[in-house]
A and B are shown apart, each in its own frame.
Chain A
């Protein structure tokens, strides 16, 4: 039911973005908005608070994305928030990104790193992931300080964790 709901919203957003003519730009803007939403709990709870009127929540979205995203992106995010599905918005955007990439016959690889990757590193990583997964991978880098160092790559349900955080966790587990 939940997966169906997320997939349904993702398909709807993709249909809107495709109808507006530039789904790739909407995908990129939504991806960035989702990453910002994941690290900002206050924003996420404000948008998901049923006590806050829908118009107020939509106003928050418009103020937040004003000048940073296109009208299509603002419209679809505002629609999801007004529908009271803000708590599922990151998952809906992830499904939308995968749906959009799949339309281009690509797989989305979410790469988390403490620092930005150089272009050369991005190309090498894309090639490495293409070879490892056998798919045409599209790398999206998310700067996440909690990784400490190294890289964590998520492709669908697969995770390739080479972060310092993961190694420290393994070390912590070995102490138990």
Chain B
């Protein structure tokens, strides 16, 4: 910082010194157009009469000398007094700038640098915050993706289990229905057999009753009664 300030001070001093040094050679060529023309005219009048002067004025060499007076001064090197006044003004302005402007500019620049630095820090903080948010978001996203994957897995497992349960239940129901149907068929078969047996027995017994009724004549009735009496008699022995 100190080196930069020294360079600011040295550079204008060198420029002012050069202008002062180079100003002296330019002093000869720094006379005015009027003085130049007056000098030529005074020389011609001093050495010649009026007619001769008029003749010399018509000569090309004289016109070239006069035109030479009209040529522009050195565009680079100003007049010495201008250099002096300009240098003084420059020095004054330079001192003012060094004393007043530079601290103000420097303060503004420092403030701006500080603001930029604060902005950079804020940006850095914001970036860090954003990165933290991003990391948190990515973590949440990863968690959500993991949760989604877990839920998918659970749903798939549940679906598999449900399918297995339904299949097992359907098979069990099928077996139960088959067993029940088999039992029903067997029960129906047994019932049909029993009904048929009862029917056959009824028919057979009806036929037997008719045979017995037709065969029970008086002798048979008497024998049955006697047999009954004998059985009752025998039962008390």
A residues neighboring B (CB under 8 Å): 113-115, 117-118, 121, 124-125, 127-129, 131-132, 148-151, 153, 160, 162, 164, 168, 171-172, 175-176
Contacts and interface: CB of A to CB of B under 8 A. Distances in A.
A149 B205 contact: no
A116 B160 CA distance: 87
B197 A176 contact: yes
Interface string B184-210: 000000000010011011101100110
B193 to A, nearest CB: 11
B213, B232, B233 — most chain A CB neighbours (10 Å): B232
Given A132-B236, A148-B212, A164 B224 contact: yes
Contacts of A127: 233
A162 B231 CA distance: 9
Contacts of B208: 168, 171
Contacts of A160: 232
B142 interface: no
Contact of A121 (B205, B220, B229, B231): B229
Nearest to B221: A115
Given A164-B212, A175-B198, A115 B218 contact: yes
B205 A171 contact: yes
Contacts of B197: 175-176
B225 interface: yes
Contacts of A129: 232
A145 to B, nearest CB: 9
Interface of B: 194, 197-198, 200-202, 204-205, 208-209, 212-213, 216, 218, 220-222, 224-229, 231-233, 235-236
Contact of A148 (B216, B226, B231): B216
A112 B218 CA distance: 16
Contact of A176 (B201, B212, B227): B201
B221 A168 contact: no
B196 to A, nearest CB: 11
Contacts of B224: 149-151, 162, 164
B219 to A, nearest CB: 11
A132 to B, nearest CB: 4
Given A124-B229, A151-B224, A162-B231, 16 more contacts: A113-B225, A114-B221, A115-B221, A115-B222, A121-B229, A129-B232, A132-B233, A132-B235, A148-B209, A162-B224, A162-B227, A168-B209, A175-B197, A175-B198, A176-B197, A176-B198
Contacts of A168: 205, 208-209, 212
B194, B200, B231 — most chain A CB neighbours (10 Å): B231
A149 B226 contact: no
Given A113-B225, A128-B232, A128-B233, A149 B220 contact: yes
B220 to A, nearest CB: 7
A139 to B, nearest CB: 11
A52 B227 CA distance: 48
Given A131-B236, A150-B224, A164 B216 contact: yes
Contacts of A115: 218, 221-222, 225
A164 B221 CA distance: 10
Contacts of A121: 222, 225-226, 229
A128 B209 contact: no
B153 to A, nearest CB: 64
Contacts of B200: 175
A74 B201 CA distance: 47
A125 B229 contact: yes
B213, B227, B236 — most chain A CB neighbours (10 Å): B236
